[in-house]
Structure 1
């Protein structure tokens, strides 16, 4: 099974799979904004319970969510060290040589780690439970009011959907090129700065060539199917709002308003 999960759709028939894509897109945006409200550990605890409930309703294995965290592990570690050493609020709780770690730095570091984990979990759940076609259709419906002022809603929605779809493909291609270059003696870890720059160039150039080739193949495939940007077209699949979507929207609004109220206290 492929270790790369972000951007990939996992077929299923869970509650999350059956929710309206418009609700999932708007819900994700609302939750991403809510995550940055300073509601304390109580607020983050509520958001964590909500995220656990969303993952449980999506039937996505927990180990797949954990694998999605791997690419940001280094970022989390870097931000944690950076904040612990530079933030100087609160009282000193630990001393080491010339470094001092303050209580405020620990609190802010924990907040940042929780935010990153919640963001990755929620975005992964969205892409894993929403088909690329439904995602495109949902984005197009949400941006429909902009069409009245000449904004190309369909083209923008399609580009966003294609970009999300190609994230795992490009990551797979990167891993394949790295293994191929390593088998030829290229070392991405050791060596001088000049050697590392050469190794990176040997990775970037074939990756760009592969990306442009895939883009050209996709463009040819769309052209062969007589795709015309901006042309009027009918939809075989129509989005419909159901009772479960209303219930999910009410839960989302209640949690978001509660977190907002906690942040004002």
Structure 2
């Protein structure tokens, strides 16, 4: 469990931990939008500098943030292979008979990988510095104005919070099942393609059964405690914005504006 970063809350005494969850959610949204603005290397350097500063203020190590990217390594390698086979533009860097690796294939892969890494690290900072209940409350407060048009803000906030909360739990469960299967002689790394597929099925089926069982237990526990998502709820904790919250949101908006300006002016 100590190796899991994404979805794991760390009770540290830091400036980011003390921030209002609504402000942190809005900062994440502004930065996510900025990531998808084609601002080139300057835009990504600007976002990266903000992330490094956020890690320092939240007392999180860079290694902790990078561990959240580790589960995505397979997808990144898969994207590289697909781009090498499909993209045939740019300068040919490697030629081995009929097989060629072009510069645009590598650049396009790096472009996607950097985006994924930034988004995952931003999400990791949010979940590591915000309690699940505070995250639920923050999302609900931000969605509250949309209740006038029939949007179930509390239900959506609860689902998002539960999903984030169970990411490390499911990863831990996957590792436990893999260890149990390995003790029974299942080899997930070696063997033919058919044997690997059967080994993966031996992992996925019990994982789904365990996930559904946990969901059922959670639903029964919430029902036993009288939880009704349709009822009007009161809150012991009242959220209040402070100067640091407004400063963080202002900086994130400025980063988004700079990225848009870079894209419009063509500096990138």
Q: Where on the TM-score scale, by shorter chain, does this alignment land: which range?
A: over 0.9
Cα offset for 1:176? Answer: 0.2
The runs of at least 4 aligned residues of structure 1 exceeding 4 Å deviation read: none
Number of equivalent positions: 265
In structure 2, stretches of 5+ residues that fail to align are none
Instruction: Report the TM-score, using the length of structure 1 for normalisation.
Output: 0.93
In structure 1, stretches of 5+ residues that fail to align are none
Alignment of 1:176-195 (within 5 A): 176-195=176-195
Instruction: Check the 8 A contact 2:68/2:120 in 1, yes or no.
Output: yes
Tell me the secondary structure at the aligned position of residue 16 of structure 2.
helix
Instruction: Check the 8 A contact 2:33/2:256 in 1, yes or no.
Output: no
Distance 1:202 1:81 in 2: 27
Residue equivalent to 1:152: 152
- Answer yes or no: is 1:116 the counterpart of 2:116: yes
Alignment of 1:197-212 (within 5 A): 197-212=197-212
Alignment of 1:1-265 (within 5 A): 2-264=2-264, 265=266
Distance 1:100 1:202, change over 3 A: closer
Distance 1:85 1:199, change over 3 A: closer
Distance 1:40 1:229 in 2: 44
Instruction: Check the 8 A contact 2:80/2:105 in 1, yes or no.
Output: no
Tell me the secondary structure at the aligned position of residue 151 of structure 1.
coil
Distance 1:178 1:102 in 2: 38
Distance 1:126 1:151 in 2: 24
Cα offset for 1:85? Answer: 4.2
Cα offset for 1:136? Answer: 0.4
Q: CA RMSD in A?
A: 1.8
Instruction: Report the TM-score, using the length of structure 2 for normalisation.
Output: 0.92
Instruction: Check the 8 A contact 2:10/2:129 in 1, yes or no.
Output: yes
Distance 1:113 1:194, change over 3 A: closer
Tell me the secondary structure at the aligned position of residue 12 of structure 2.
coil
